[in-house]
Structure 1
């Protein structure tokens, strides 16, 4: 079973077309990089996947659960890291996780156990008691990823999660999420416009002006690690 199936998905803002007949799948353990320049439709796609927007054109299924007809079951299978930070800065790291665990119906004991598990995985166990406000940008992002993993989702959606971070923090977070896909079998959809976050064995989905330009293994789409040049050429040719 695919972790995510998107079929014939379209969306308009009034007369403006944001997505047109977008179809793709993400399998368990697959790291799929959603690439595209600003305005390509990445954020619109994420809004539809997380049910912030609803489209009557197309179908979205998460672990076989239809997002339109069974939204609670579908959403329960996914963890989400939005582009804008949504942490409570006045709570500690541990309390941010505990609050999220309670929203998902976890008992206090289970929340504590899972918080310890995800913080350890993201190298943040020693920061559990710190105020979130005291964390730097990279550690705040790690905390958001940890929070998204509290209910053990099978699909992890990340909308440009490294925006505003320095190169070292970006590399560390990208490596952590790749490890989650590889070691835990979590399906990952990682939206970005930064091609250096994509590994040769990742799946690449190139989106431009609401259309999928290419979809496949990064090394097959752009052999010899020429993805940046290939990506730029595709978007420039389409714009022309």
Structure 2
């Protein structure tokens, strides 16, 4: 079973077409980069995947569950880190995690066990009682990823998760998410407009003007153009 299936997904803002016939599949445990210039439709796609926007054209299935027909089951398998932080800055790291666990209906003991696990996994134990506003950008992102994994989703969406981070923090976050993908078997969809966040072995989707114009290994796309992936991306999105 795939972690995510999209078939002929489309969306419009009034007369303006934002997405057209978007379709792809993500295997369980895979890391897939969704690359596109600003305005390509990445955030619209994330909004559809998370039901912030209503899906009116096409089909989205998360772990086999239709997002339209079985939204609760589909969303139960989905964890999300949005581009804009949604943490409560005046709550501690642990309080943010407990609030999220309560929203998902996790019993107290189970919530505590999972919070401890995520604090350890993301090396946040020493900061558990710190208010989020005291954390740097990289640590805040780790808190958001820890929160997104509390209910044990099989698919993790990260929408421009490295936005606003310095280069070292961006690299650390990228490496951390890939490690989670390998060790936990979580499928990851990582949206970005930055080529340096893509690795040669990645599954790579290129979105431009609302359409998927490439779906291949990053190394294969780079090999098709003199100048590598950067040249290939420039040609595809020109």
TM-score normalised over the length of structure 1 = 0.96
Contact 1:115/1:150 (<8 A) preserved = yes
**Partner residue of 2:229 out of 204, 227, 230:** 227
Runs (4+) off by over 6 Å: none
Q: 1:122 corresponds to which residue?
A: 122
Q: 2:24 corresponds to which residue?
A: 24
What does 1:80-95 correspond to in 2, within 5 Å? Answer: 80-95=80-95
SS in 2 for 1:89: coil
Q: How many residues align?
A: 236
Structure 1 unaligned segments of length 5 or more: list them.
none
- Displacement of 1:226 in angstroms is 2.1
CA distance in 2, matches of 1:153, 1:138: 22
- Displacement of 1:50 in angstroms is 0.3
Show CA shifts across 1:94-120 (max 9, x none). 010010001111112211211111121
Determine whether 1:33 maps to 2:42: no
TM-score normalised over the length of structure 2 = 0.97
Q: 2:3 corresponds to which residue?
A: 3
Structure 2 unaligned segments of length 5 or more: list them.
none
What does 1:85-234 correspond to in 2, within 5 Å? Answer: 85-223=85-223, 226-234=228-236
CA distance in 2, matches of 1:231, 1:123: 35
CA distance in 2, matches of 1:230, 1:204: 12
- Displacement of 1:225 in angstroms is 8.6
Show CA shifts across 1:144-175 (max 9, x none). 01100000100000100000000000001100
CA root-mean-square deviation: 1.1
